[in-house]
Amino acid sequence: MNELSHPTPTVTCGPLPASTKIHVAGERHPGLRVPMRRIALHPTAAEPPVTIYDASGPYTDPAARIDIARGLPRTRADWIAARGDTETYAGRRVRPEDNGFAEGDRLTPEFPALPIPRRATKGAVTQLAYARAGIVTAEMEYAAIRENLGRSTAATRDGEAFGAAIPDFVTPEFVRDEIAAGRAILPANINHPELEPMVIGRNFLVKINANIGNSAVTSSMAEEVEKMVWAIRWGADTVMDLSTGRNIHNIREWIIRNAPVPIGTVPLYQALEKVGGVAEDLTWEVYRDTLIEQAEQGVDYFTIHAGLRLHHIPLTVDRVTGIVSRGGSIMAKWCLHHHRESFLYEHFEEICEIMRAYDVSFSLGDGLRPGSIADANDAAQFAELETLGELTQIAWKHDCQVMIEGPGHVPMHKIKENMDRQLEVCAEAPFYTLGPLTTDIAPGYDHITSGIGAAMIGWFGTAMLCYVTPKEHLGLPDRDDVKTGVITYKIAAHAADLAKGHPAARLRDDALSRARFEFRWEDQFNLSLDPDTARAFHDQTLPKEAHKVAHFCSMCGPKFCSMRISHDIRAEAKSKGMLEMAERYRAGGDLYMPAD
Amino acid sequence: MNELSHPTPTVTCGPLPASTKIHVAGERHPGLRVPMRRIALHPTAAEPPVTIYDASGPYTDPAARIDIARGLPRTRADWIAARGDTETYAGRRVRPEDNGFAEGDRLTPEFPALPIPRRATKGAVTQLAYARAGIVTAEMEYAAIRENLGRSTAATRDGEAFGAAIPDFVTPEFVRDEIAAGRAILPANINHPELEPMVIGRNFLVKINANIGNSAVTSSMAEEVEKMVWAIRWGADTVMDLSTGRNIHNIREWIIRNAPVPIGTVPLYQALEKVGGVAEDLTWEVYRDTLIEQAEQGVDYFTIHAGLRLHHIPLTVDRVTGIVSRGGSIMAKWCLHHHRESFLYEHFEEICEIMRAYDVSFSLGDGLRPGSIADANDAAQFAELETLGELTQIAWKHDCQVMIEGPGHVPMHKIKENMDRQLEVCAEAPFYTLGPLTTDIAPGYDHITSGIGAAMIGWFGTAMLCYVTPKEHLGLPDRDDVKTGVITYKIAAHAADLAKGHPAARLRDDALSRARFEFRWEDQFNLSLDPDTARAFHDQTLPKEAHKVAHFCSMCGPKFCSMRISHDIRAEAKSKGMLEMAERYRAGGDLYMPAD
């Protein structure tokens, strides 16, 4: 499409069924309005509405005025300025190569209301630096409130947390302490004031990331902004813009200015565009320029493949699928061509100095992750992990926030070793994994092959799960693929929270199960991760409104509804007579004994 | 639809892409022709074709003449007759109530070529009885050959089997011994000669079951026969006909006569129809009559809820979702109404006598399985499991084959306890689970919530996984739902085989990954579980034939293909110079040391 003919694309807005956006106020920072989603239940339900985590931003708030060309309110601007440790400055001028030399109709228009960039006057302005100084920032309190889902009581604890220590209630101090310990990050670039702060760590709710981004082959700014809004509507906690090809500077600006969630990127992709896609022509200077360009725009975390070192490359030679990380393969090619150590590794401390001046968090990339079951947990993968552990210490030395990226393709019996090694080698820095995919034989269904691995590694302690869509290995995900990927990963993350014994996780399951048992079909739909699909499936066979209170569904039909029968049983069972009778039978013992 | 207007429905036939049906001959029983699917690879592939397990029957064999009104060839008839321990007889006459008193246009026509039923002249004619007598039946050899996938060599063993003992190669004697030990079953009713024998056990490939069946609300014979053929086309190893409502006798006959896979049913459903859907009107006589009716038709395994006893019912009173098993709720209602012990439990030995006269296998039903995360692993569930263990011993005493049904809704941290207890309490009889679903909050996506649990419990030792479709809890699955459910469960079963370290499991993953790495797109599609969908997704962005050999896809575009870059790297890396250089860097040590 011609972007100029659609200067301001429209995005999906409006609340989900039966849902209201509520805002919880802060205590330490009275101005805070922390959004949550309240799901109303049917009047016949003898229970209160259910409040859940809400990553969807103002788009689901009917009271919000949405104008993509204006961007979201810059709520954090005052908090950041008030800290008095940053300054505004002219900033880097946009150059033609930033947009791949796109011109005229092919150039995505610049975002109309460009903000003035800000940077640290000196030292680190990271949430880690504040946490270490004992400061509870507004961002920390905001994230703490979100984690409690508006609860006043703690649910029963029941789970196996594998060493995670999730508190009954998350306090702002707990968020601070987890960040100070390096066990959690709060990705929040000072140039992304539109952000609704959230925390990523093993002792918090498991988060999910959705990847969007155009490629040289397809898609546009309008589509990408809508994909971002669509992804968070269904629950994506962070979004990575993996755009390549042209217009990536301008597309990214539109995305960040309209994003209430942290935005991540892989700066190497744009750096490669700047040198015409020739890996060996990459230089530290081009890369450094790209880091500053994106830090000024407000990217919250950078995937940086500094762990892939020259001497690791020979370890990949006998792999079935070689190097499958884009960033990893680009850096490997550079190292090999020049027979030199990676410039990302050699300049790592300079990178830290840039990151801490804007509070861009590190997502240390696993350039050597396995791309097949055959390559899982091999020498190349774990050699790189050792280096990521070493770089984590260096980043922490500079007060930079760090999370570690993980695989990939891993069979079930090798998943836990990935988690255990990462915790040990990277000193409990948050783990952020792609899947893992538990088999290679289902292209077209890799949201499922990976959803299995994601649920398991999330249970074992992974803090954030990067989604995989049905298009993985086959093409660029469209809007439907993004939704399917997000819902699948919400399932994996929630299954992990349940298994870890998160004190609030089961509340929604129990509310939905009670609705199911009481034939409150509307409540069952509204409490589900995807109310639209649940309702549509039910409508396929029982479209009438009357069916939405029917004591059966088309799966079994009226005569066979076990739940309906259960109600009769329950009524009778309450009568003492039945219990006595049962007692008598129990006393009577078994009619048969095992034939030894 | 009016069945009479379509007396012979058509079903989906023809091979899958690049696939040929091959037949492996037997040794002990030279007449055997054991079907397998051979997937041809592109001429540029420097490797042989891949042979996989084939549950699809003659429908994917272009050489087969398919006529639904004639049914499949009765291959086993000679084997059964040759054993000389059975007789043909008049059999039970079909009564109006067998089809719910359907008449005229509403009556599904009788299958045109009804076979004469057969039963044991005396004692047991079960595969268990033969195995215990040291006999290797043709069925056992047939199943053994299938398990080896035409391999001549064993792949590397790599996995955690949790006590399972999977051999490098499966011999007919091994199948016999596993059946004799009760660790495996070979469901094969002597009145189902169309069957292609298969084995279900923890030391064999993990199998999956697909449920079909009409309900009082919707669907017809033509649809159900096609659903069965469609389900096995995508890999269902067994099919359960859960029909309720009218015409179930005639619909079942059409299904069995055209089924190359074992067919399972829940006789209680039809028995309830015979008494007008009033649970308390059920009698042992009506149930017994139904067992014989279905045994004569050739049903291979019966779900029998004999483990739910009167004194268990009070244990369900405080559950969030009560009793969610249809059969369980019907029996509970009967017990409660009459204040009597279950007639299934009291007449269990008589049931065994019927089962062994036709070799119908027991699938002991878990009428008290949990229907929500809140009810998982509770007292009711495990009390019933104890009774199932007791009944297993009684069935074995009568030479009856037994598998045990399992949950249900179970969070990840409670799944392994289900497997461990079942192995202990039921003396390693094969476990057959529904999912389990790992969260309650995703109606519309329960193939995924349950696929996670199914992969895990399959890894832990479950022998067969009963699929869950996207319509679970919402409606009756249609053709698309059946396919989605089957593919999802093939993923779960295969992920489990990989994690258990099955010697043949990884061959297909590795072949597909090599195809992926070598940009043999056609091979990647053809080796996948669903070639049609994989190809369609790729075509959405790169439809041209030229793209099917392109060294990139639309996900990353040409500049960014990590695999393409990997090939350059591999070429260079082979050069000694590079390795020396890497060596020098390694010797040089790290440029940075961890902070303190």
Residues of chain B with pLDDT > 70: what percent?
92
B322 to A567: CB separation less than 8 angstroms, yes or no: yes
Q: What pLDDT score was predicted for residue B595? A: 31
Question: Using CA atoms, how far apart are residues A190 and A75, in angstroms rounded to an integer?
Answer: 11
- Tell me the two tokens of residue A125: 């302005």
Is pLDDT of A34 > 70?
yes
Give the minimum alpha-carbon distance from B594 to chain A in angstroms, rounded to a whole number.
5
Average pLDDT for B399-417:
98
A464 phi and psi angles, rounded to 5 deg: -140, 140
Confidence at B556, pLDDT banded by 50, 70, 90: low
Is pLDDT of B557 > 70?
no
| Pairing of the two strands A301-304 and A184-185 | unpaired
Q: What is the pLDDT of chain A when averaged over all its residues?
A: 92
Question: Using CA atoms, how far apart are residues A149 and A38, in angstroms rounded to an integer?
Answer: 10
| Pairing of the two strands B431-434 and A184-185 | unpaired
Question: Using CA atoms, how far apart are residues A195 and A188, in angstroms rounded to an integer?
Answer: 7
Average pLDDT for B393-418:
98
- Tell me the two tokens of residue A100: 């791949």
Which among B345, B348, B445 has the least Cβ separation from residue A487?
B445
Helix segments in A412-469, DSSP class H: 415-425, 446-460
Average pLDDT for B104-111:
91
How big is chain B by its Cα radius of gyration, in Å?
25
CB within 8 A of A507, min separation 6: which ones?
A: A50, A149, A151, A155
- A27 near B CB under 8 A: no
Report pLDDT digits (tens) over A273-291: 999 999 999 999 999 999 9
Question: Using CA atoms, how far apart are residues B300 and B261, in angstroms rounded to an integer?
Answer: 9
B500 phi and psi angles, rounded to 5 deg: -75, -15
Rounded to two decimals, the pTM is 0.95
Average pLDDT for A129-154:
94
What DSSP string describes B317-363?
Answer: TT-SS----HHHHHHHHHHHHHT---HHHHTHHHHHHHHHHHTPEEE
Q: What pLDDT score was predicted for residue B8? A: 64
Average pLDDT for B278-286:
96
Average pLDDT for B205-209:
98
Q: What pLDDT score was predicted for residue B126? A: 98
Contact between residue B288 and residue B350 where contact means Cβ atoms under 8 Å apart: yes
Question: Using CA atoms, how far apart are residues A423 and B10, in angstroms rounded to an integer?
Answer: 57
Coil/strand/helix, residue B404: strand
Helix segments in B379-478, DSSP class H: 379-397, 415-425, 446-460
A509 to B440: CB separation less than 8 angstroms, yes or no: yes
Instruction: Determine whether the annotation assigns residue A366 to a binding site.
Output: yes
Report pLDDT digits (tens) over A356-365: 999 999 999 9
Instruction: Determine whether the annotation assigns residue A209 to a binding site.
Output: no
Which of A226, A340, A249 shows the shortest CA–CA distance to A296? A249
DSSP-assigned letter for residue A322: -
Q: What pLDDT score was predicted for residue A400? A: 98
Q: Which of residues 570-589 of B touch A (CB under 8 A)?
A: 570, 572-574, 577-579, 581-583, 585-586
B569 to A313: CB separation less than 8 angstroms, yes or no: yes
Contact between residue B366 and residue B307 where contact means Cβ atoms under 8 Å apart: yes
Report pLDDT digits (tens) over B11-21: 999 999 999 99
Q: What pLDDT score was predicted for residue B562? A: 80
Report pLDDT digits (tens) over A277-331: 999 999 999 999 999 999 999 999 999 999 999 999 999 999 999 999 999 999 9
Is pLDDT of B588 > 50?
no
Edge-first strand order for the sheet with A33-39 is: A19-25, A33-39, A50-53
Which of B564, B533, B484, B582 shows the shortest CA–CA distance to A472? B533
Q: What pLDDT score was predicted for residue B590? A: 36
B473 to A524: CB separation less than 8 angstroms, yes or no: yes
Q: What pLDDT score was predicted for residue A512? A: 98
- Tell me the two tokens of residue A268: 């190497």
A180 phi and psi angles, rounded to 5 deg: -60, -35
CA distances from B439 to A280, A455, A461, B138, B447 (A): 48, 11, 18, 43, 11
Residues of chain A with pLDDT > 70: what percent?
92
Q: What pLDDT score was predicted for residue B558? A: 66
Report pLDDT digits (tens) over A202-225: 999 999 999 998 765 556 888 999
Q: Which of residues 178-197 of B touch A (CB under 8 A)?
A: none
Instruction: Determine whether the annotation assigns residue A403 to a binding site.
Output: no
Per-position b or e across A187-204, b if 16+ CB within 10 A of its CB = bbbbbbbbbbbbbbbbbb
Residue B300 amino acid letter: D
DSSP lists the bridge partners of residue A437 as A409
B217 to A512: CB separation less than 8 angstroms, yes or no: no
Report pLDDT digits (tens) over B44-102: 998 999 999 999 999 999 999 999 999 999 999 999 999 999 999 999 999 999 999 99
Which of A223, A231, A258, A228 shows the shortest CA–CA distance to A241? A228
Helix segments in A167-309, DSSP class H: 172-180, 221-233, 248-257, 267-274, 284-297
What DSSP string describes B468-483?
Answer: --TTTTTS---HHHHH
Q: What pLDDT score was predicted for residue B66? A: 95
- A171 near B CB under 8 A: no
Report pLDDT digits (tens) over A55-74: 999 999 999 999 999 999 99
Which of A273, A300, A293 shows the shortest CA–CA distance to A92? A293
Q: What pLDDT score was predicted for residue A566? A: 81
Average pLDDT for B414-439:
98
Q: At what angle do helices B248-257 and B221-233 cross, to 10 degrees?
A: 30
Give the minimum alpha-carbon distance from A89 to chain B in angstroms, rounded to a whole number.
32
Helix, strand, coil abundance in chain B, percent, nearest 5:
45, 10, 45
Q: Which of residues 320-349 of B touch A (CB under 8 A)?
A: 320-326, 328-330, 332-333, 336-337, 339, 341, 345-346, 348-349
Q: What pLDDT score was predicted for residue B564? A: 78
Which of A195, A184, A139 shows the shortest CA–CA distance to A463? A184
Q: What pLDDT score was predicted for residue A555? A: 64
A397 to B217: CB separation less than 8 angstroms, yes or no: no
Cα B587 from chain centroid (whole Å): 55
Please write down the HEC assignment for all residues of A57-104: HHHHCCCCCCCCCCCCCCCHHHHHHHCCCEEECCCCCCCHHHHCCCCH
Q: Which of residues 394-413 of B touch A (CB under 8 A)?
A: 394, 396-397, 409, 411-413
Q: What pLDDT score was predicted for residue B579? A: 56
Report pLDDT digits (tens) over B569-582: 777 766 655 555 45
Is pLDDT of B498 > 60?
yes
Question: Using CA atoms, how far apart are residues B212 and B242, in angstroms rounded to an integer?
Answer: 6
- What is the chain B residue with the closest CA to A392? B594
Q: Can you tell me which residue has the tokens 């319509």?
A: B471
CA distances from B463 to B132, B164, B168, B176 (A): 21, 10, 18, 16
Report pLDDT digits (tens) over B318-377: 999 999 999 999 999 999 999 999 999 999 999 999 999 999 999 999 999 999 999 999
B538 to A474: CB separation less than 8 angstroms, yes or no: yes
Helix-then-strand count for chain B, H and E: 20, 15
Average pLDDT for B150-156:
78
B472 to A277: CB separation less than 8 angstroms, yes or no: no
A216 to B558: CB separation less than 8 angstroms, yes or no: yes
Question: Using CA atoms, how far apart are residues B63 and B22, in angstroms rounded to an integer?
Answer: 11
Q: What pLDDT score was predicted for residue B596? A: 33
CA distances from B305 to A562, B267, B366 (A): 14, 10, 6
Q: What pLDDT score was predicted for residue B582? A: 54
Give the minimum alpha-carbon distance from A587 to chain B in angstroms, rounded to a whole number.
9
Is pLDDT of B220 > 90?
no
Average pLDDT for A564-585:
65
Q: What pLDDT score was predicted for residue B112? A: 94
Which of A142, A137, A136, A143 shows the shortest CA–CA distance to A207? A143
Report pLDDT digits (tens) over A507-553: 999 999 999 999 999 999 999 999 999 999 998 878 787 777 777 66
Is pLDDT of B218 > 80?
no
Measured between beta carbons, which residues in chain A are less than 8 angstroms from residue B513?
A: 320-321, 371-374, 409, 440
Nearest 5 degrees, angle CA A550-CA A555-CA A557? 55
Contact between residue B530 and residue B190 where contact means Cβ atoms under 8 Å apart: no
Is pLDDT of A38 > 80?
yes
Element (H, E) at B511: helix B505-517
A569 to B322: CB separation less than 8 angstroms, yes or no: yes
Which among A311, A506, A536 has the least Cβ separation from residue B373?
A506
Question: Of A558-562, B137-141, B442-446, where does mean pLDDT reach its minimum?
Answer: A558-562
Give the minimum alpha-carbon distance from A557 to chain B in angstroms, rounded to a whole number.
6
Q: What pLDDT score was predicted for residue B5? A: 45
Coil/strand/helix, residue B212: strand
Instruction: Determine whether the annotation assigns residue A561 to a binding site.
Output: yes
Q: Which of residues 429-488 of A touch B (CB under 8 A)?
A: 438-445, 447-449, 451-452, 455-456, 459, 470-476, 478, 487-488
How big is chain A by its Cα radius of gyration, in Å?
25
Q: Which of residues 478-507 of A touch B (CB under 8 A)?
A: 478, 487-488, 490-492, 494-496, 498-501, 506
Give the minimum alpha-carbon distance from A61 to chain B in angstroms, rounded to a whole number.
23
Give the minimum alpha-carbon distance from B405 to chain A in angstroms, rounded to a whole number.
17
Q: What pLDDT score was predicted for residue B217? A: 54
State the number of CA atoms in the 13 A half-sphere of B97 facing the CB.
14
Average pLDDT for A419-432:
98
Coil/strand/helix, residue B240: strand
Helix, strand, coil abundance in chain A, percent, nearest 5:
45, 10, 45
B358 phi and psi angles, rounded to 5 deg: -125, -5
Q: What is the pLDDT of chain B when averaged over all its residues?
A: 92
- B529 near A CB under 8 A: yes
B329 to A456: CB separation less than 8 angstroms, yes or no: no
Element (H, E) at A499: helix A479-500
Q: What pLDDT score was predicted for residue B548? A: 77
Is pLDDT of A101 > 60?
yes
Which of B209, B281, B221 shows the shortest CA–CA distance to B245? B221
A541 to B314: CB separation less than 8 angstroms, yes or no: no
